[in-house]
Amino acid sequence: MRLLVTGGAGFIGANFVHHVVSEHPDTAVVVLDALTYAGDEASLAPVAGSIEFVQGDVADADLVDSLVARCDAVVHFAAESHNDNSLANPWPFVQTNVIGTYTLLEAVRRHGVRYHHISTDEVYGDLELDDPERFAETTPYNPSSPYSSTKAASDMLVRAWGRSFGVAATISNCSNNYGPYQHVEKFIPRQITNLIDGVRPRLYGQGLNVRDWIHVEDHNRAVWEILMRGRVGETYLIGADGEENNRTVVETLLEVFGRPREDYDLVTDRPGHDLRYAIDSTKLREELGWSPRYSDFATGLADTVAWYRDNEAWWRPRKAATEAKYARTGQ
């Protein structure tokens, strides 16, 4: 199989490429990535000799068509995904998440190529902190930011192209990922790299917002199973029963670093900050037999800290610019 991976130099996409190269070596991998600030070819350095890398925009119709034409399947990771950035400038999110997805769908439609679409649980909005419910495949969409609304729009395009044009597509909506190669602007790597530098962590509001955390390796194992054995036209939710509030995440990281659990600061909350995400992944587990290997969140965090300690050369060039941006906005 020849597989096109869009956004394959980003956090989750690069980890997926690593997974495919190591676990499924008979698969030829082509990576398309625009190498915006969130993508880095260095994330693919360990597998560079085993893949084909193409720098380009997923909304470039001619380029996308030429790549899809010689592939058997597409896994579409490419996305703008940072909520704070979407509030500051929504346009890149419309361009990549909506127009980019449309461009890919038209290409796979023309060439009859299998398509898997990576989405997020944020399309469902949020839940109350004390609500026992979790998101399921049938949960109505209720996005609350330019990021989540453009991802919701892209999901709707995929479903429409499947129903109207017979595109062989599946969708997966995943909870919050953590692990190697995640950009230092994101919550967990920002806290880790600040702690490495001796900087006190900072939390929005009271730090009570809950996310359902999953290690990126578990996410990508699920994606492969859906691509290979998922039912065309279906949506699968990927989650590891990893609900933790942001305060607990920071306190756990402080413990890993041998610092007092209360050694952090609270800052003004961001607008529209969703309260709680929670995934019900029963369908994925029962149909495809998937289960997370990182079932203990504290162990996964400790492994992630170790990776950032060992790979300072990868994240250090991004750190100063990221912190300067946050300093300008008081975050």
Q: In the prediction, which pLDDT does 331 show?
A: 63
CA distance linking residue 137 with residue 310, whole number of Å:
38
Report residue 117 as tokens.
């679409």
To the nearest whole number, what is the mean pLDDT of the chain? 94
Q: What pLDDT is stored for residue 330 in this prediction?
A: 65
Q: Which of 245, 160, 174, 183 has the alpha carbon at shortest distance from 209?
A: 245
* Segment 100-134, tens digit of pLDDT: 999 999 999 999 999 999 999 999 999 998 888 99
Q: Is the pLDDT of residue 252 over 90?
A: yes
268: pLDDT confidence band, cut at 50, 70 and 90? confident
Q: How much of the chain is in helix, strand and coil states, percent to nearest 5?
A: 45, 20, 35
Q: Which residues are catalytic?
A: 121-122, 147
Backbone angles phi, psi at 37, to 5 degrees: -60, -30
Q: Is 6 in contact with 33 (CB distance < 8 Å)?
A: yes
**Closest residue by Cα to residue 281 from 244, 243, 242, 238:** 238
Task: State the DSSP H helix or E strand holding residue 268, giving kind and residue range, or none if neither.
Answer: none
DSSP string, 50-97: GEEEEE--TT-HHHHHHHHTT-SEEEE------HHHHHH--HHHIIII
Q: Residue 300: which residues within 8 A CB-CB, separation 6 or more?
A: 178, 179, 213, 215, 294
Q: Average of pLDDT values for 59-77? A: 98
pTM: 0.94
Q: What stretch of H or E contains 161? A: helix 146-165
Q: Among residues 329, 50, 311, which one has the least CA distance to residue 193?
A: 311
DSSP assignment letter at 139: P
